[in-house]
Amino acid sequence: MSPNAKPADVRFYFDADVLGLAKVVTQLRSDVTYPGDLGGVIHRRRRPRCPITTPCALDTAWIPIVAGAGWLIITRDSRIQDHRAEVAAVKDHGAKMVALAGKEALGRWQQLEVLLCQWRAIEPLATYRVCAATAGLGFEIESLDGGAPVQILSEGEHTGLEAGDILVARVVHATSAPTLWGLAMRFEAESERRWRARLAELPANRAQAALIILGFHPDDASEPLPDGLDLLTATSSIDDEDALLDALEDDSRLECIGQTTPHGWAFAWLDHAGCGRPDLGGWREGDGEIEVARVVISEHEMTLISADNETLRTVASHLAETLSDLISERPDALAA
């Protein structure tokens, strides 16, 4: 018995077809479970009994439970993709699954080798907000995707962190206390909305998502449009995106404010802060000007956005005059 053991945060579920592998990994990590697992204590973390009590449970029975818990499924069951009911269970419940497929994953040792070689891709790279930080002791973080805050102990590492800062890192929960795995990237607190917009568009594939996160820098991204404003839009078709972007770059009335999510470019139409028009929030230079309209360029389309009808028409007229040979207005161009 370990009376001082804290509850483990289970995050990985090993399917019945890799039970041998599961029983090896549960001796090393506290965040892993499998069907029929009675629980246990690893690194002073107590893993609860698995809610899937038997390896004989049908896929359609256990997949909803595991998906509802938010666990990542690790399986060798290549037949799941060939059975309509199992595929429906995965899709309907948003299950996250990694398959150890191929001849090299037949035996327990081979499965362990494949798992360990791919663990960095399986262990999720996530984005966190710093809730609180105490110099020399550690800091508390919470995932931008939701979940309970996590206390990270730190003796001198990650100095200078402040509440609100954004961290991109891997957090390992299987140790006696949660720790950061490898280096963490730090960004200023004001970048949180740009991070949230980028995370909302990530693909389901963990490896692809990790590459996108690593390649993203909030300074290169436009600020998401504010909530609570009634926005008006006008759309135009475009044929030559590169030529249009060059023309907008040369337009003295517009300022490029970065890339849009998941793709495209945004330009701000500015006015002085006392103009009385709603601010779209994309201009961050702090020079007494605000963004009263935004032009977004995506594939084959230009969209003009504003919360003020007069501004929208002024900017639309300007663009129609200066870009007449590059855009064609749609019949339903103006919409609330």
Q: Rounded to whole angstroms, how far apart are CA atoms 290 and 271? A: 6
Tell me whether residue 106 is in a domain.
Answer: yes
Instruction: Give per-residue burial for 81-97: e unless 16+ CB within 10 Å, then b.
Output: eeeeebeebbeeeebbb
What was the pLDDT predicted at 207? 64
Question: Does the residue 11 lie in any domain?
Answer: yes
* pLDDT averaged over 10-residue windows placed end to end, the chain, 336 residues: 67 87 85 92 85 91 89 72 65 73 60 65 76 84 86 71 87 68 77 91 75 81 92 90 90 92 88 94 88 92 94 94 82 49
Residue 269: its pLDDT value, please?
Answer: 96
Rounded CA separation 11/31 (Å): 5
- Domain co-membership, 135 together with 196: yes
Looking at the structure, tell me whether residues 42 and 10 fall in a common domain.
yes
Count, in order, helices (H) and strands (E) of the chain. Answer: 9, 18
The count of domains in the chain is 3
320 closest CA partner among 333, 335, 307: 333
CATH number of the CATH domain containing 28: 3.40.50
Which of 118, 146, 167 is the last residue in one of the domains?
Answer: 118
Q: What angle in degrees, to the nearest 10, is found between the helix axes of 206-215 and 192-199?
A: 150
pLDDT of residue 107: 67
pLDDT of 331 = 46
Dist. CA 151–CA 121, nearest whole Å: 23
Contact (CB, 8 A) for 278 and 260:
no
Which residue reads 């499998």 in tokens?
34
Which DSSP helix (H) or strand (E) runs through 320? helix 309-322
- Domain span at residue 131 reads 126-218
153 in Cβ contact with 179 (< 8 Å):
yes
